[in-house]
Amino acid sequence: MRKSFVFVLVILLAGCSTSLDQKLKKLQGRSIDEVIDRRGDPDEVTPLRNGGNIMTWTQRWGASGENICTLRFTCDSSGIIQSYTYLNCGLDGSGQGP
């Protein structure tokens, strides 16, 4: 019984992160301004040698803010999103837990 529960939970979590991954993948090749318009200014901007930037947003979530969702977008010198990463962004990727 326990193994079945764990398996179902893993499948559900994988599906949720895939949904976030699909949303973020659609932003590749688009302007970082689209993310800024939705999320506001980034919490951190790290300049790259090639003239681009890594833009980072963090958001606390959970009953007492114990979790931190981190979204990072790597942009070229024109502000076009080249890649992204995310960590601990809740079940739906919003930065809000279940």
- Domain of 82, CATH number, reads 3.30.1450.10
Say if residue 62 is exposed, middle or buried (CB neighbours under 10 Å; 0-12, 13-18, 19+): middle
Q: Whole domain around residue 15: which residue ranges?
A: 2-87
Per-residue pLDDT of the chain (98 residues; tens, 9 = 90+): 444 433 333 334 444 456 888 899 999 999 999 999 999 999 999 999 999 999 999 999 888 888 999 999 999 999 999 999 999 987 555 555 44
Q: Residue 4: its pLDDT value, please? A: 43
Domain membership of residue 98 (yes or no) is no
Domain membership of residue 93 (yes or no) is no
State the total domains in the chain: 1
